[in-house]
Amino acid sequence: MDNGNFYSKKGQRKISSFVGQELLYDYISGQLDTERQKAVDEFLKENREAQGDIQKINNGITYVDRLAETVVSQALLEKIETPSNYFQTVQTRLRFEEWPVGLKLGLEAMIVALGITSVAILVPWHKIMNLRSHSENVVLTEIAHETVKKTTEVETGNAVKEQPAAFQDEGVQTTKPNIVDETDVSKASIKAEVAVTPPATPPPVPEPQKTTVPDTTAVAAAATDTSEKDSKRVGFLYRGTMLVTNAPAVTPKMVEKLTALGSRKAGEVEMGWKKGNGSYFHFTVPENKYDEVLAVFNQYGQLKIQKERHERIMPEGIIRLIITVDEKKSKQADKPDEKVTAPNGSETSDSEQ
Amino acid sequence: MSENDVKAIALFFFYALLDDRRALDAAGEALEMARRRLAANTELKTTVAIVGATQQIWDKHSGQFVRGRPNYSLESGWLVPQGLDLGPWKEFQKSAQEDEFLCLIWSKILKISDEDISQGLGISIGTLRYRIGRALRKLGMMANPVTTKPLGVVK
């Protein structure tokens, strides 16, 4: 090889293989000056590896020139230029799609649980419950309508037998709430008035339409009249206790007599329900039978009874009593002249009954 | 910035990432960054801003994916010349040094001048040309002579 043919830019040395290789790209792209261009030309004549490299570089240039022809669709350009909103940015940065499945499911379950908890906290449950109890009060009114139906039967001939059923039997009302609001009570009292009145005087033979279908106009008018009066009414309960000898034997007799007077159970249990050694009477009775009821109990012992205010307002003419009858112990002695309260509110002694 | 500038950014990330969804995300970010740079420095050339922004966004995304796993679809909207086999580029993208194939994209695909690239990257022109020469040699070794055909959808 003639060293004098290959010189560097300074003309001092021959271009080495390494330098020649690195100058190939500049050589192809025409970036070399004339002297170096000539030197690389001479280098390529002798170096087959460099010739192969020239071919590779040309192939590469041809290939990337083709790549440069790639077209980007207008839709993509618009997509790139459109500034992403906050949600998209967050979604992109979080890369939710690439999260592990377990983590995604856990996060979703947590979000659902939070939603349910929020609903449970925010929903006004107490108002919903109030609405529900209000609807139950409406059911109470419907039962009063049945009472009117019974009254119709009374008017048509079964007056004497059906009289005890004329007032509302609280013992039957297993599904009704214990507390009744005043508006519903006023309606119930209207029905009770209609029911109680007939037995006292023989009812005139009514026309079929009047008996089968209650006149809503008349009921409405009656409701208007009585609502003012009922709004001032206060509920009462007669609560009494007494001691008897041999309560198991006495109780059935008391029940029989009370039933004959028109008493009906008012609570969940029957009259004369066995309570320990004694018995328990929770019942309703027409107000005009009050003295006779006292007399029944006083036959077997001394009844101590008092009138208490109570939130439950009974229909007019009906009173409610709770009498607890206990077995008398040998040491206990009857106390005479216990004070009792008459239905009209005046206090009297038992001896006066 | 013109539509060609947006297209250049999009092409850069398409060939750098070979992932159409990532390319769209990265291109959007790079476009925003380039705009901010141009707004901050009115004397800055657009191509220089593009090089700087794409380099920065590339650095951000490059750690989040593995090279050599292309992920693009036919409906993606990238219209590669019909008959052009992307296999050599995939192989090149997988095996080449990062700075080499990035410089090749800027220089030969986006057709940005060496001066602007070197200014955007903060390197000398000689270094840039050295990288491009090496990249072309590697790519040419993988690519067969290609023929000119009409454009077609990516396969």
* pLDDT (0 to 100) of residue A142: 55
Helix (H) or strand (E) holding B88, with range, is helix B87-95
Say whether both A161 and A215 belong to one domain: yes
Contact A75 B77 (CB under 8 A): yes
pLDDT tens digits, one per residue of B117-147: 999 999 999 999 999 999 999 999 888 655 4
Partner-chain contact A92 B25, CB within 8 Å: yes
Q: How would residue B65 be classed by pLDDT, with cut points 50, 70 and 90? A: confident
Clarify whether residues A89 and A178 are in a common domain: no
The answer to whether residues A345 and A264 belong to one domain is yes
For residues A132 and A219, state if they share a domain: yes
**Residue A53 with chain B: CB contacts under 8 Å:** 137
Q: Does A51 touch chain B (CB under 8 A)?
A: no
Q: Which residue of B has its CA nearest to A27?
A: B133
Q: What is the predicted pLDDT for the residue at B112? A: 92
Domains of chain B: 3-142 (1.20.140)
pLDDT, tens digit (0-9, with 9 covering 90-100), for A155-184: 554 444 444 444 444 444 444 444 444 444
Residues A218 and A254 in one domain: no
Residue of B nearest to A59 (CA): B140
Domain match, A43 and A148 both = no
What are the contacts of A76-81 at 24+ separation with CB within 8 A?
A: A76/B10, A76/B24, A76/B76, A76/B77, A76/B78, A77/B3, A77/B6, A77/B7, A77/B10, A79/B24, A79/B28, A80/B6, A80/B9, A80/B10, A80/B24, A80/B27, A80/B28, A80/B31, A81/B6, A81/B31
- What pLDDT score was predicted for residue B64? 72
Q: Kindly report the nearest CA distance between residue B145 and chain A, in angstroms.
A: 6
- pLDDT surpasses 50 at B26: yes
Chain B hits for A77, CB-CB cut-off 8 Å, are 3, 6-7, 10
Rounded-to-integer distance, Cα A175 and Cα A138, Å: 12
Domain closes at, from A83, A106, A122: A122
Q: How many structural domains does chain A have?
A: 4
CB nearest B3 (choices: A56, A77, A79): A77
Q: What is the pTM of this model?
A: 0.47
Asked whether B84 and B77 are in contact (CB, 8 A), the reply is: no
What ipTM is given for this predicted complex? 0.87
| A247/A308 same-domain check | yes
Asked if the Cβ–Cβ distance from B133 to A69 is below 8 Å, we say no
Clarify whether residues A42 and A87 are in a common domain: no
On whether the CB atoms of residues A315 and A188 are closer than 8 A, the answer is yes
Q: Which residue of B has its CA nearest to A56?
A: B140
Helical (H) or strand (E) element with A115: helix A101-122
Q: What is the pLDDT of residue A161?
A: 44
Check CB contact under 8 Å for B140 and A61: yes
Of the residues A212, A231, A250, which one is the last residue of a structural domain? A231
A30 and A56 share one domain: yes
More confident residue, B86 or A114: A114
Q: Which residues contact A117 (CB under 8 A, 6 or more apart)?
A: none
Report pLDDT for A141: 55
Residue B103 pLDDT level (bands cut at 50, 70, 90) = very high
Phi-psi region of B148 (alpha: psi -120 to 50; beta: other; left: phi over 0): beta
Q: Do A76 and B79 touch (CB under 8 A)?
A: no
Reported confidence tier of residue B47, pLDDT bands at 50, 70, 90? very high
Burial class of residue A296 in the structure, from the number of CB atoms within 10 Å of its CB (0-12 exposed, 13-18 middle, 19+ buried) = buried
Look up the domain containing A267 and give its range.
Answer: 236-352
Q: How far apart are CA A285 and CA B78, in angstroms?
A: 95
Overall size of chain B counted in residues: 155
Domain end (from A181, A199, A231): A231
| Cα dihedral B2, B7, B10, B12 sign | negative
The answer to whether the CB of A349 falls within 8 A of the CB of A302 is no
Distance from CA of B73 to the nearest CA of A (A): 13
Residue B150 pLDDT greater than 60, yes or no: no
| 3-state DSSP assignment of residue B152 | coil
Q: Which alpha helices (H) appear in B18-67, and where do they start and end?
A: 20-40, 46-62
How many other CB atoms are found less than 10 A from the CB of residue B142? 18
pLDDT of residue A125: 85
Mean pLDDT of the region B60-67:
76
CB-count exposure of residue A190 (10 Å: 0-12, 13-18, 19+):
buried
Dihedral angle over CA of B52, B53, B58, B60, nearest 10: 110
**Which of A51, A57, A64 has the most B C-beta neighbours within 10 Å, making it the best mutation to test the interface with B?**
A64
Contact A73 B79 (CB under 8 A): yes
Per-residue pLDDT band at B49 (split at 50, 70, 90):
very high
Residues A191 and A160 in one domain: yes
Q: Do A179 and A113 fall within a single domain?
A: no
**Cβ–Cβ of B132/A67 closer than 8 Å?**
no
Nearest by CB to residue A22, choosing from B3, B130, B136, is B130
- Percentage of chain B modeled with pLDDT above 70: 88
The answer to whether residues A327 and A244 touch, using CB atoms and an 8 Å cutoff, is yes
Q: What one-letter code names the amino acid at A316? A: E
Q: Same domain for A93 and A140?
A: no
| Cβ separation A59–B31 shorter than 8 A | no
More confident residue, A164 or B93: B93
Who wins on pLDDT, B73 or A215?
B73
Token code pair at residue A248: 């198991």
**pLDDT for position B60:** 85
CA A28 centroid distance within chain: 84
- What pLDDT, on the 0 to 100 scale, is given for residue A330? 66
Which positions of chain A have pLDDT values less than 70? 1-13, 83-85, 87-89, 91-93, 95-97, 132-233, 330-353
Residue at token pair 């108002």: A127
